[in-house]
Amino acid sequence: MGLFSKLTGGGGDKDKPQREFDRVTGSGETVEILIDNSGSGKPYELLDVSLGGFAITGYEGKLHGNQYFEFKFCGKKKDEPAEITGFANIVRVKNGMLAAKFTPQPRVKSFLRKYINS
């Protein structure tokens, strides 16, 4: 790697920033986007989740990047429902995929840490 690439941050994969949290591929979980106060939304298939956010597939709504929304995570562990609601900020909406990052919420992070590790 040349001096210029070191100065500009170029130079291959070893210079790529590492993700703060590991992603876990979805295994039947869904995420509902709670657009109104009715408490029910359309379930979308979870592509992946981490302690920092999630991605869903099949999204065709009107939400766009940098928009905040309320969600409900629905999964199962040991045949028991595992659900939590929270807030997220949209990172990307493209080709039916919506990616979002969580706003600071210790209870959501704690829930997901237990869910992912059990």
> How does pLDDT run across 21-67, given as a tens digit for each residue?
778 898 999 999 997 655 557 899 999 999 999 999 999 888 999 99
Outline where DSSP puts E strands in the chain: 24-25, 30-34, 43-49, 53-57, 68-77, 80-94, 97-102
Q: Is residue 43 situated within a structural domain?
A: yes
68 against 40, higher pLDDT: 68
Q: Is residue 8 situated within a structural domain?
A: no
| Percent of the chain at pLDDT exceeding 70 | 80
Q: Is residue 80 situated within a structural domain?
A: yes
8 Å CB contact between 73 and 29: yes
The region of weakest confidence among 13-17, 24-28, 32-36, 91-95 is 13-17
With a cut of 70, say whether residue 2 has pLDDT above it. Answer: no
Going by pLDDT thresholds of 50, 70 and 90, the confidence category of residue 13 is low
Q: Is residue 108 situated within a structural domain?
A: yes
Q: How many domains does the chain have?
A: 1
What residue numbers bound the domain in which 84 lies? 23-117
For residue 18, the model assigns a pLDDT of 62
Helices (H), 1-118: 3-8, 106-117
With a cut of 50, say whether residue 1 has pLDDT above it. Answer: no
